[in-house]
């Protein structure tokens, strides 16, 4: 699995799929969810509405409309409640569900934001470990490359440090 860290606005990436840190309603919100819906346009909200909802840790895939990427994979992350309520397992499930859809659709490159580490309050370092270890444990043919998209210097440094343990900078 190829992987890299990229500090960027995820809505600008021309990749097969970007992952949206959504909520269970799939009806948009703030953070990266808001940015993706703003950039994609109303067609994305209309398609998301057809799913009704998406459970935490699960994922759905839609078209990307006005975004430069081909698909958006929406996954509701886990809200941090102190760490003793299965938050880590649910966050791992987000990554697994997204990777599974990328594999089903034979997507070459997908870009993940740092799911749950904003409004949902998941500690950044623990979340980055879950993200990177889950991706590097994935052993299917697709996706071939994962981009961990960071939105702050702190997140970039943390993801780079975790990825370096896999000899990746």
Those residues whose C-beta lies under 8 Å from the C-beta of residue 158, and which sit 6 or more positions away, are 124, 125, 128
- Taking the complex as a whole, the smallest distance from the CB of residue 104 to ligand APR amounts, in Å, to 23
Q: Tell me, yes or no, if 33 is annotated catalytic.
A: yes
Catalytic residue among 9, 14, 33, 55: 33
- Taking the complex as a whole, the smallest distance from the CB of residue 141 to ligand APR amounts, in Å, to 27
The answer to whether 3 touches 145, Cβ cutoff 8 Å, is yes
CA dist 107 → 34, 59, 95, 111 (Å) = 24, 15, 15, 11
Residue found by looking up tokens 């699995």 in the block: 1
Strand positions, DSSP E, 1-42? 2-7, 17-22
Those residues whose C-beta lies under 8 Å from the C-beta of residue 106, and which sit 6 or more positions away, are 141, 142
> What is the end-to-end Cα distance of the chain in Å, rounded?
13
Residues in contact with ligand APR by the rule CB under 6 A: 9-11, 21-23, 29-35, 77, 113-120, 149, 151-152, 155
The answer to whether 46 touches 28, Cβ cutoff 8 Å, is no
Q: Which residues are known catalytic residues?
A: 33
């Amino acid at each position: 699995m190829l992987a890299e860290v990229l500090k960027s606005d995820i809505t600008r990436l021309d990749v097969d799929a970007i992952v949206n840190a959504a909520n269970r309603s799939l009806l948009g919100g703030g953070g990266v969810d808001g940015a993706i819906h703003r950039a994609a346009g109303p067609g994305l909200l209309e398609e998301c509405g057809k799913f009704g909802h998406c459970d935490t840790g699960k994922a759905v895939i839609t078209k990307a409309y006005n975004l430069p990427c081909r698909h958006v994979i929406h996954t509701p992350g886990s809200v941090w409640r102190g760490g003793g309520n299965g938050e880590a397992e649910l966050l791992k499930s987000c990554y697994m569900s997204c990777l599974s859809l990328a594999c089903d659709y034979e997507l070459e490159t997908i870009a993940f934001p740092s799911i749950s580490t904003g409004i949902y309050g998941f500690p950044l370092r623990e979340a980055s470990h879950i993200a990177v270890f889950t991706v590097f444990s994935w052993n299917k043919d697709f996706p071939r490359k994962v981009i961990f998209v960071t939105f702050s210097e702190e997140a970039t440094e943390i993801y780079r440090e975790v990825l370096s343990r896999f000899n990746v900078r």
